[in-house]
Amino acid sequence: MSSENGKRLLETDAGGLNFEATELTLGLPGEPRVTSDGGAKLGSKRGFSETVDLKLGDNNQEVKLGHSLQEAAKSPVSKTQVVGWPPVRGFARRGKKSCKYVKVAVDGAPYLRKVDLEIYNSYQQLLTSLEDMFSCFTIRNYLNEKKIDQVNGIEYMPTYEDKDGDWMLVGDVPWQLMKSSEAVGLGLKTAPKYSSTN
Amino acid sequence: MSEDDERQQSPPSDLEFVSNKARNCNATGSGSGHPEFQSTYPDQVLENVLENVLHFLTSRRDRNAASLVCKSWYRVEALTRSELFIGNCYAVSPGRATARFTRVKALHLKGKPRFADFNLMPPDWGAHFNPWALAMAKAYPWLEKVHLKRMSVTDDDLATLAELFLGFKELVLVCCDGFGTSGLAIFVSKCRQLKVLDLIESEVSDDETDWISCFPEGESNLESLIFDCVECHINFEALDRLVARSPSLKKLKLNRYVSIGQLYRLMVRAPQLTHLGTGSFSPSDIAGQGDQEPDYVAAFAACRSLVCLSGFREIIPDYLPAIYPVCANLTSLNFSYANITADQLKPIISKCHKLQTFWVLDSICDEGLQAVAATCKDLRELRVFPVDPREDNDGPVSEVGLQAISEGCRKLQSILYFCQRMTNAAVIAMSKNCPDLVVFRLCIMGRHRPDPVTGEPMDDGFGAIVMNCKKLTRLAVSGLLTDKAFDYIGRHGKLVRTLSVAFAGDSDMALKYVLEGCPQLQKLEIRDSPFGDAALRSGLHHYYNMRFLWMSSCRLTRHGCQEIARAMPRLVVEVIRSADEEEMDDVVGTLYMYRSLEGPRTDAPKFVTIL
């Protein structure tokens, strides 16, 4: 039997955390982080599948990301958790009360991603996660009007389709409202979609 | 027993023995008596007798022992072994296995080591079923059963099984991956004699193929259909019809896409079930509020043979009372997907007097465990999983629950317990109260956590377990542990075959104690512990007796592992690199080594270096 392996990647991503300081390493509390034998920082794990595709707590079959995405995918991996610990299998979530899956499509990308809105607590978390998933595209951080580093000069506007079938701009309604209204309906018809501007 | 010089010209088979009996009686002239009574060659009689007797020998350990007696016994044992178990698919090649054992009907293969389940191994490491499937298609066309654990199985492999083995009856896939619903569709459509299809904790990709509809029409031989791990929608109407035409069906475990209303319909169709996985155990979204709810209690009451209950994947606890009628008969109950409280558990568990196996989430808290201890006097196996598997200071279960279980469930043989805190006292109590323990796996989720009451390491607790539980063969340790704990294990854990170590120990001595002290050790998996090359060397006398050794994020160097590889030619020493490691780093990220008759495997991916 398996249980959620606790890869709550974005729950701990409370924005602005200094990941270096919270990175867990082998050794008792208070020990210096760099060990004397140089290279091996024991206990800080380089996750394997985490750097390849972000399995956000489910085992839906997802399209494997290309190599370029691996690099970007590394950073949001929760640094406050060690890979594979505790040793609980990640094939299915246990005891999760609800999940709100939506399909995410980006114009021009050949694949969709499935995202569980349940694990995010704010638009910021969602956008950060999506940006890492689709890091070859630049996603405009509409909420803060911040320009995120441009990779190829094209910006994307995060939009979503609500239950009436209308395309809405992400950020118009409070997070909780969007989350609860989007997941309504049979199956997972709603799909936040990113359409390119300019 | 004479050597078989005279018989070397004819390869043994039972048909040949029968005909040789008549032929050889003139050739030898050995033995006394009237020619008419000299109808068989004495050694041949012995071999026939042996063959008949060995047919009854089922334990593979007994068979392995028998095969070592002499060449004759070796040969006859090989002929009569019908179930082939291979604990590490890379220890022997398909060709070698099929050459020795020529009449195999059932194959049991294991692939990746257990730590692969926790993302400690990159995907595509290996353990491909394909070469085995092809070899067996040639060697054992009569093959009936395949049981795989942690292997990579493709859709093509499934097609091979269904197409090339006409009498194929049983497929069990545990923790496997690499295939999807389209593979399942081909498999079930062509496998006309299928009795058992058990998919357990496997990853099945959703190719959006309706595989349930692909079972052939007409009466089915299905006895067991387990697909609770399959994370895809299924065609319920087709499933309903399938169950209706499977009169022998005894085991049915549904996935979470089956609602409780649908479960009801299936239960009405199949009251003869002995093992039931309930699916979601909640209504589908479509069900209207005003609809008449079916009589779930009656459905459960009709299942008089039900002994094993699981599922509850998205449970609405209001529906739990429906299972009351079966509680008294249950020997196995799996609530490990049901986030329920102690109060929700109590009315159920208080009726489960016969329960022997119980899997549950820690949401029931110590209080829930106390309720279990109060009723389940026959409990043999307990697993307590975390709802929230993170390191934390507080958790819902603790030493209180463990103590209660140890006092109430004296016949306990196997325990897996996840918690945030644990005391030596509770572990010591369990070691004394439960002397029948064979498996003790304690996972204190906070790494390096000492006994919160005394501040001491957890050495004494685990020490007591190995000292007092004389039948212990499997042990997993956690919490703050010094070398002393491993000294205890080496001194007293004489029957230990599987040992799991994580974030433990102070120095090489710990590993030395274990490698030098535990003669039965076969599987050793270690992560994030300060053991280096010197410790590795101390096991040279023993590695050929082991199935494997796994060490990740320890203090091994490449040249240390190289030394082992040079000293032991029949050991395959794999160094597995993670994404950020350079190929020629001296520091070893992961060492996985295992005995093998075949030398380095040819299918190793780029991130694996075989020394």
Distance CA B25, CA B243 (A): 58
% of chain B at pLDDT higher than 70:
91
How many C-beta atoms surround the C-beta of residue A146 within 10 A? Answer: 8
Residue A196 reports pLDDT greater than 60: no
Closest CA to A2 of B201, B415, B253, B226: B201
Question: Taking CB atoms and an 8 Å limit, are B579 and A85 in contact across chains?
Answer: no
User: Cβ(B158)–Cβ(B183) under 8 Å?
Assistant: yes
User: Is the Cβ of B118 closer than 8 Å to some Cβ of chain A?
Assistant: yes
Cβ contacts of B528 on chain A, cutoff 8 Å: 26, 42-43, 82
User: Is the Cβ of B124 closer than 8 Å to some Cβ of chain A?
Assistant: no
**Partner residue facing A81 (CB), from B334, B385, B390:** B390
User: Is the Cβ of B7 closer than 8 Å to some Cβ of chain A?
Assistant: no
State the distance between the two ends of chain A, measured CA to CA, in whole angstroms.
Answer: 50
Q: What pLDDT does A26 receive?
A: 52
Tokens representing B515 are 């490698």
User: Cβ(A45)–Cβ(A84) under 8 Å?
Assistant: yes
Cβ contacts of B286 on chain A, cutoff 8 Å: 186
In SS3 terms, B64-126 reads as HHHCCCCHHHHHHHHHHCCEEEECCCCCCCHHHHHHHCCCCCEEEEECCCHHHHHCCCCCCCC
Question: Tell me, what DSSP letter sits at residue B453?
Answer: T
% of chain B at pLDDT higher than 90:
84
Per-residue model confidence as pLDDT tens digits over B162-177: 999 999 999 999 999 9
**How much of chain A is in helix, strand and coil states, percent to nearest 5?**
20, 15, 65
Alpha carbon distances (Å) from B347 to A94, B280, B301, B342, B381: 22, 21, 17, 9, 21
Question: Taking CB atoms and an 8 Å limit, are B231 and A89 in contact across chains?
Answer: no
Residue A95: pLDDT band with limits 50, 70, 90: low
Residue B529 reports pLDDT greater than 80: yes
Residue B418 phi/psi, 5-degree rounding, is -100, 135
Residue B572 reports pLDDT greater than 50: yes
How many C-beta atoms surround the C-beta of residue B78 within 10 A? Answer: 18
In SS3 terms, B571-602 reads as EEEEEECCCCCCCCCCECCEEEEEECCCCCCC
The domains of chain A, with CATH numbers, are 101-190 (3.10.20.90)
Taking one residue from A and the other from B, the number of pairs with CB-CB distance under 8 angstroms is: 145
Tokens representing B356 are 């022997």
* pTM summary value: 0.75
Closest Cα of chain B to A133: distance in Å?
18
Residue B141 reports pLDDT greater than 80: yes
Question: Taking CB atoms and an 8 Å limit, are B118 and A83 in contact across chains?
Answer: yes
Amino acid occupying residue B444: I
Question: Taking CB atoms and an 8 Å limit, are B119 and A43 in contact across chains?
Answer: no
Tokens representing B46 are 């012995």
Residue A120: pLDDT band with limits 50, 70, 90: low
Question: Taking CB atoms and an 8 Å limit, are B180 and A61 in contact across chains?
Answer: yes
Residue A113: pLDDT band with limits 50, 70, 90: low
Closest Cα of chain B to A1: distance in Å?
7
Of the residues A44, A71, A91, the best mutation for testing chain B's interface (the one with the most B CB atoms within 10 Å of its CB) is A91
Distance CA B185, CA A82 (A): 38
Question: Taking CB atoms and an 8 Å limit, are B389 and A84 in contact across chains?
Answer: no
The stretches of B339-398 forming alpha helices (DSSP H) are 342-349, 365-375
Share the mean pLDDT of chain B: 91
Closest Cα of chain B to A94: distance in Å?
5
Closest Cα of chain B to A7: distance in Å?
9
Residue B480 reports pLDDT greater than 80: yes
Q: Give bridge partners of residue B576 from the DSSP assignment.
A: B590, B608
Distance CA B561, CA B551 (A): 11
Amino acid occupying residue B355: L
**Partner residue facing A26 (CB), from B115, B286, B528:** B528
User: Cβ(B148)–Cβ(B161) under 8 Å?
Assistant: no
Question: Taking CB atoms and an 8 Å limit, are B385 and A46 in contact across chains?
Answer: no
Closest Cα of chain B to A77: distance in Å?
13
Alpha carbon distances (Å) from A45 to A41, A75, B391, B589: 8, 13, 15, 10
Q: What pLDDT does B45 receive?
A: 83
The domains of chain B, with CATH numbers, are 42-80 (1.20.1280.50), 329-420 (3.80.10.10), 431-610 (3.80.10)
ipTM of the complex: 0.82
